[in-house]
Amino acid sequence: MAFFPGTVARAFAKAQFTKAPFMKVRHAILIVVLAAAACTPVFRNHGYIPAEDELAQVTVGQDSKETVAAKVGRPSVEGLLNDNGWFYVQSRFKTVGPRQPQEIERQVVAITFDDQDRVANVERFGLEKGEVVAISRRITSTSIKQIGLVQQLLGSLGRLRADQLLN
């Protein structure tokens, strides 16, 4: 085969011409893959809550703050108004593309302590449809704390009105 400069130029041009549609398809596929990757949801977890088997080791009425810290660890949040509560908070966020992150799950474990720093209550709350829902609860104390029978009777006298005594 003889070497003709025009023939080589035509063959090269033909090769470039036939390669162009494949390059367009390759670029289109790359753009679609990148767009799909950008819209893939990204999940992030924030915070810590103890597992159920760790919480099962906590005994209401017996464990103190020190033993709870040894069994499940210290919380990220403690009671603000009084120092009688430990709160473990975990949230799960979903981010899709350039949108704002959306909280899709939240759990709170609340461990409250009595005046002697003993566990009074262990509760687990969740977030269902934007509302806080109690998932599990372990309470052994009564709703009446440190009030004797005489104090209860005297305390109710102040709430009576004269018309209630006449009937």
Domain ranges for the chain: 1-38, 42-149
How many other C-beta atoms can be found within 10 angstroms of the C-beta atom of residue 162?
Answer: 6
pLDDT for 94 beyond 90: yes
> In terms of pTM, does the model score above 0.85?
no
pLDDT for 108 beyond 60: yes
- Quick one: average pLDDT of 132-143? 57
Give the per-residue pLDDT at 98.
82
18-43 pLDDT, tens digit each:
556 667 778 788 887 777 777 788 89
In this prediction, residue 68 has a pLDDT band, given cuts at 50, 70 and 90, of: very high
Q: Worst-scoring range by mean pLDDT, 63-67, 102-106, 149-153, 158-162?
A: 149-153
- Quick one: average pLDDT of 58-86? 83
DSSP string, 21-59: HHHHHHHHHHHHHHHHHHTS-EEEEEE----HHHHHTPP
What is the chain's mean pLDDT, rounded?
A: 75
Give the per-residue pLDDT at 18.
54
Burial 55-77 (b: 16+ CB within 10 A, else e): beebebeebebeebeeebeebee
Q: Which of 33-42, 68-77, 147-156 has the highest mean pLDDT?
A: 68-77
In this prediction, residue 163 has a pLDDT band, given cuts at 50, 70 and 90, of: low
In this prediction, residue 105 has a pLDDT band, given cuts at 50, 70 and 90, of: confident
pLDDT for 4 beyond 60: no
